[in-house]
């Protein structure tokens, strides 16, 4: 096992070291401040929910100063100001449905009602769909004058194709212009993914892997005449190079009614494009699996002096595949870039046997099929045919700034969700998009990109532990009520709904520590650090001697000490410490120490052997040339001594042989028993020692991680083989993955 790990590590390194870009995302980020929230001092508010059973909270909607949060068999209307319950809806499945559900081998936990779709149809009308013990159902509720919800007398409606059967399926829905668009699965076994407009029952083509291929939908929004969906799916255009998941943005036109005969009741405006969240370089490193997005807002991925210098953007969380090195990245996408990508050329495959290539303009129908038509039923057949076979755009949507804004690699944590506080005006006169990023180990990371013009230089301001490490953050939301002067961050996990302040400026007691925080919310105002748009602050440079003379206070040193005690060191960012081909990556001190230790042991060993030799009073086999010379000069050695020498050498070689066998078999021998052997041959063993030194951030004593690393190597191999495999025809059977 250890050998395998060492080997995998070596292979990994050989692979990654060929990517020059790797270094840039291994660069350390250490937050200006690490915060452990204290309920008493940090004005944390918490929504209790049901104290007696699991809640399975999920944030569904925020509006003005309240939010609707789904719980198991419940929908809560919660005030974002106080985090108290305004009202709630209780909707548990009927016992008969639960019985049927359990008969179909589902667990009691699954056989509950989980609300996955919610549309606020008017000020007081809610349309909700829940999994309802694997029998998706929708109903409408009215909110009365007193705030309480009443089920309308309409009969419950089937929620099939609007809401998944399985609560773990990733579904999204958006209500736009009086129509509900849902992106989910339409069957019990989650085999029939679709995007559906439920008023006219127009959907995506069924069972066509070109359209949707094992998608996980993450979010959706409406804008202008279209509805957009973010999802990840198995990339059909990449199938020749092995199974890979890509992130996508897909869209449909709001007026789409489907075709007339061809594409009858099927969208004639469904197109999708890849989202490119990658570290640029000769071999870009892709973060291919979108997890979530922020809402669409007006912002700018870089600081700006002009509050008007902003555009419609969306920020997304992207991860590497689960079976590789855990990496997460934040990328921002401009709405205008998304539109431009859809106005470009298409990707197509002449037939099943051909590769995916760019479709030339000459073969693209005019007008451009992406344009929304008021009468989709009248579209000519050749256009419809083209649309049916070309849902994929040729180009990927580029990330704003050309690179991720924030990258994190770690075995322990990945990003889950992002909220953006758009264009926060800092005291240094600049506007910043402040990112709040939730992690799957219960933290929220606050960061801004301070890099001007071309560079992206994100500073992590705070690393806030909100929940326990086993409680992933599932949602974050910035809440601001200008009238009441309230601003805070709502943080949601399956078990908790809390609100925390957006900043902790007042905890910094000196000008220097206030400025060192680089928090756009904070500024030093003569005697205190506060949330202000005026005062001393320099997000770009942090504190320096050249700063405002009023910021050069003498007391800083004492205060700093105090703060250092409070702040715990940041989690060390991942840095692979396996030996490279050159053998000098990571913390070289460990390698040297190990080698030193081995050398010392070897010396001791040979001293010991020498003593042994002199005791027996004769020469031994396997000695240095000098000693063999000694042996030859001792020509008078008796037959007896010779016999002893032979026996000793046989025993020695048996021992060594045994050891080699033992090491190779188990490779878990204890390294001080035969150091010279180790020194010579078991470089694998050394890498184990390096790994198990415990300082390696990639090292995880949890052995279950191993098979996953193996997969990574296999995947990479698949990718590297691209060239040789590319020309191979794709057969229908290739569609059945594994």
Residues that bind ligand NAG (CB under 6 A): 61, 63, 66, 68, 77, 86-87, 147, 168-170, 216, 276, 278, 280, 284, 291, 374, 396, 398, 402
In the chain, count H helices and then E strands: 14, 38
Nearer to ligand NAG, 61 or 81 (CB): 61
The beta-carbon contacts of 169-172 under 8 Å, at least 24 apart in sequence, are 170/216, 170/217, 170/218, 171/116, 171/117, 171/217, 172/217, 172/218, 172/219, 172/220, 172/229, 172/230, 172/231
Nearer to ligand NAG, 185 or 196 (CB): 185
Any idea what the Cα angle at residue 94 is, between residues 93 and 99, rounded to 5°? 100
**Least distance in angstroms from the C-beta of 254 to ligand NAG:** 9
**Least distance in angstroms from the C-beta of 331 to ligand NAG:** 10
Classify 214 as helix, strand or coil.
Answer: coil
**Hey, which bits of 205-326 come out as E strands?**
216-223, 226-234, 245-253, 271-276, 278-279, 285-286, 289-293, 297-299, 311-319
**Least distance in angstroms from the C-beta of 63 to ligand NAG:** 4
Question: In terms of Cα–Cα distance, which of 187, 182, 193, 91 is closest to 134?
Answer: 187
Hey, what are 96's tokens? 């008969």
How many angstroms separate the CA atoms of 258 and 379, rounded? 9
Nearer to ligand NAG, 346 or 521 (CB): 346
Question: In terms of Cα–Cα distance, which of 458, 503, 463 is closest to 480?
Answer: 503
Half-sphere exposure of 336 (CA within 13 A, CB side): 7
Nearer to ligand NAG, 19 or 644 (CB): 19
**Least distance in angstroms from the C-beta of 266 to ligand NAG:** 20
Nearer to ligand NAG, 333 or 698 (CB): 333
| Partners of 149 in the β-ladder | 143
Question: Does the bond joining 367 to the residue before it have cis omega, within 30 degrees of 0?
Answer: yes
Sequence-ordered list of residues with C-beta below 8 angstroms from that of 469, at least 6 positions apart, any chain: 412, 441, 442
How many angstroms separate the CA atoms of 439 and 433, rounded? 19
**Least distance in angstroms from the C-beta of 242 to ligand NAG:** 16
**Least distance in angstroms from the C-beta of 148 to ligand NAG:** 8
**Least distance in angstroms from the C-beta of 157 to ligand NAG:** 20
With b for 16 or more beta-carbon neighbours within 10 A and e for fewer, the 614-638 pattern comes to eeeebbbeebeeeeeeebeeeeebe
**Least distance in angstroms from the C-beta of 170 to ligand NAG:** 4
Nearer to ligand NAG, 142 or 641 (CB): 142
Helix or strand holding residue 425 (H, E)? strand 415-425
SS (H, E, C) 294-346: CCCEEECCCCECCCCCCEEEEEEEEECCCCCCCEEEEEEEEHHHHHHHHCCCE
Nearer to ligand NAG, 20 or 638 (CB): 20
**Hey, how many other C-beta atoms are within 10 angstroms of the C-beta on 418?**
27
**Least distance in angstroms from the C-beta of 670 to ligand NAG:** 40
Question: In terms of Cα–Cα distance, which of 408, 438, 404 is closest to 291?
Answer: 438
How many angstroms separate the CA atoms of 195 and 179, rounded? 13
DSSP summary character for residue 536: B
Nearer to ligand NAG, 33 or 220 (CB): 220
Nearer to ligand NAG, 169 or 708 (CB): 169
**Least distance in angstroms from the C-beta of 657 to ligand NAG:** 50
**Least distance in angstroms from the C-beta of 16 to ligand NAG:** 18
**Least distance in angstroms from the C-beta of 363 to ligand NAG:** 21
Nearer to ligand NAG, 191 or 717 (CB): 191
Nearer to ligand NAG, 144 or 588 (CB): 144
Sequence-ordered list of residues with C-beta below 8 angstroms from that of 664, at least 6 positions apart, any chain: none
Q: How many angstroms separate the Cα of 547 from the Cα of each of 206, 451, 553, 563?
A: 63, 19, 11, 21
Nearer to ligand NAG, 177 or 604 (CB): 177
Nearer to ligand NAG, 43 or 374 (CB): 374
DSSP summary character for residue 420: E
**Least distance in angstroms from the C-beta of 583 to ligand NAG:** 31
**Least distance in angstroms from the C-beta of 660 to ligand NAG:** 45
How many angstroms separate the CA atoms of 208 and 388, rounded? 10
**Least distance in angstroms from the C-beta of 373 to ligand NAG:** 8
**Least distance in angstroms from the C-beta of 183 to ligand NAG:** 13
Segments in 390-521 forming alpha helices (H): 511-516
Q: Helices 588-616 and 683-691, interaxial angle, to 10°?
A: 130
Nearer to ligand NAG, 117 or 426 (CB): 117
**Least distance in angstroms from the C-beta of 303 to ligand NAG:** 21
Nearer to ligand NAG, 21 or 556 (CB): 21
Provide DSSP, 361-379: GGGS-SS-TTS--S-GGG-
Nearer to ligand NAG, 52 or 366 (CB): 366
Classify 381 as helix, strand or coil.
Answer: helix
**Contact yes or no for 246/274 (Cβ under 8 A):** yes
Residue where the block lists tokens 């410490």: 577
Hey, what are 521's tokens? 């919310």
With b for 16 or more beta-carbon neighbours within 10 A and e for fewer, the 513-536 pattern comes to bbbbbbbbbbbbbeebbbbbeebb
Q: Which residue has its beta carbon closest to ligand NAG?
A: 147
**Least distance in angstroms from the C-beta of 439 to ligand NAG:** 13
Nearer to ligand NAG, 66 or 182 (CB): 66
Sequence-ordered list of residues with C-beta below 8 angstroms from that of 629, at least 6 positions apart, any chain: none
Nearer to ligand NAG, 414 or 531 (CB): 414
């Amino acid at each position: 096992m250890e050998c395998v790990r060492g080997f995998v590590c070596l292979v990994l390194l050989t692979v990654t070291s060929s990517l020059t870009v790797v270094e840039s995302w291994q660069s350390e980020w250490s937050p200006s401040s690490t915060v452990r929230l204290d309920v008493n001092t940090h004005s944390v508010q918490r929504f209790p929910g049901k104290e007696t059973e699991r809640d399975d909270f999920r944030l569904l909607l925020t509006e003005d100063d309240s939010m609707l949060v789904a719980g198991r068999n419940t929908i809560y209307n919660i005030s974002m100001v106080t985090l108290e319950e305004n009202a709630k809806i209780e909707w548990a499945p009927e016992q008969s449905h639960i019985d049927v559900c359990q008969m179909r081998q589902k667990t009691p936990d699954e056989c509950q009602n989980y609300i996955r779709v919610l549309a606020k149809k008017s000020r007081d009308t809610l349309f909700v769909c829940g999994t309802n013990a694997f029998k998706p159902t929708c109903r409408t509720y009215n909110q009365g004058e007193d705030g309480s919800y009443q089920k309308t007398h309409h009969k419950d409606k089937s929620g099939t194709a609007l809401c998944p059967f399985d609560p773990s399926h990733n579904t999204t829905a958006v209500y736009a212009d009086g129509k509900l668009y849902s992106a989910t699965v339409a069957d019990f076994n989650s085999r029939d993914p679709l995007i559906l407009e439920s008023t006219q029952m127009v959907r995506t083509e069924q069972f066509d892997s070109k359209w949707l291929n094992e998608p996980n939908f993450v979010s959706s929004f409406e804008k202008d005449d279209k509805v957009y969906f973010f999802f990840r799916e198995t990339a059909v255009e990449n199938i020749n190079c092995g199974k890979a998941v890509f992130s996508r943005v897909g869209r449909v036109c709001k007026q789409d009614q489907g075709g007339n005969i061809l594409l009858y009741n099927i969208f004639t405006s469904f197109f999708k494009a890849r989202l490119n969240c990658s570290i640029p370089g000769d071999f870009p490193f892709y973060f291919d699996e979108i997890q979530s997005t922020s809402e669409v807002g007006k912002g700018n991925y870089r600081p700006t002096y002009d509050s008007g210098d902003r555009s419609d953007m969306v920020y997304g969380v992207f991860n590497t595949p689960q079976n590789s090195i855990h990496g997460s990245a934040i990328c921002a996408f401009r709405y205008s870039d998304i539109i431009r990508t859809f106005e470009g050329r298409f990707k197509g495959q002449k037939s099943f046997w051909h590769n995916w290539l760019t479709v030339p303009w000459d073969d693209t129908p005019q007008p451009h099929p992406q344009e929304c038509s008021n009468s989709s039923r009248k579209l000519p057949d050749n256009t419809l045919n083209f649309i049916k076979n070309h849902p994929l755009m040729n180009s990927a949507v580029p990330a704003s700034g050309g690179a991720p804004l924030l990258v994190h690699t770690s075995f322990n944590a990945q990003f889950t969700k992002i909220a953006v506080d758009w264009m926060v005006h800092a005291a240094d006169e600049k506007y910043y998009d402040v990112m709040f990023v939730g992690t799957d180990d219960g933290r929220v990371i606050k960061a801004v990109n301070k890099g001007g013009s071309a560079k992206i230089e994100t500073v992590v301001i705070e690393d806030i532990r909100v929940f326990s490490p086993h409680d992933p953050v599932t949602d974050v939301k910035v809440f601001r009520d200008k009238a009441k002067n309230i601003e805070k961050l709502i943080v949601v996990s399956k078990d908790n709904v809390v609100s925390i302040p957006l900043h902790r400026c007042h905890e910094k007691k000196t000008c220097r520590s206030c400025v060192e925080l680089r928090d756009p919310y904070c500024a030093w105002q003569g005697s205190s650090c506060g949330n202000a748009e005026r005062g001393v602050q320099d997000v770009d440079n942090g504190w320096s001697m050249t700063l405002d003379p009023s910021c050069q206070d003498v007391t800083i040193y004492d205060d700093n000490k105090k703060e250092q005690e409070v702040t715990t060191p940041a989690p060390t960012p991942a840095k692979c410490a396996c030996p490279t081909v050159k053998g000098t990556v990571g913390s070289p001190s460990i390698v040297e120490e190990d080698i030193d230790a081995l050398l010392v042991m070897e010396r001791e060993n040979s001293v010991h052997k020498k003593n042994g030799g002199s005791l027996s009073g004769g020469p031994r086999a396997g000695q240095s040339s000098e000693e063999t010379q000694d042996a030859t000069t001792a020509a008078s050695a008796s037959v007896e001594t010779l016999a002893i020498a032979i026996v000793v050498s046989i025993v020695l070689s048996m021992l060594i042989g045994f050891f080699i066998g033992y090491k190779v078999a188990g490779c878990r021998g204890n390294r001080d028993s035969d150091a010279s052997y180790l020194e010579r041959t078991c470089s694998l063993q050394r890498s184990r020692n390096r790994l198990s030194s415990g300082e390696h951030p990639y090292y995880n004593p949890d052995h279950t991680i191993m098979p996953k690393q193996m997969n990574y190597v296999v995947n990479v191999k698949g990718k590297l083989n691209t060239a040789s495999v590319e020309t191979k025809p794709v057969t229908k059977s290739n569609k059945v993955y594994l």
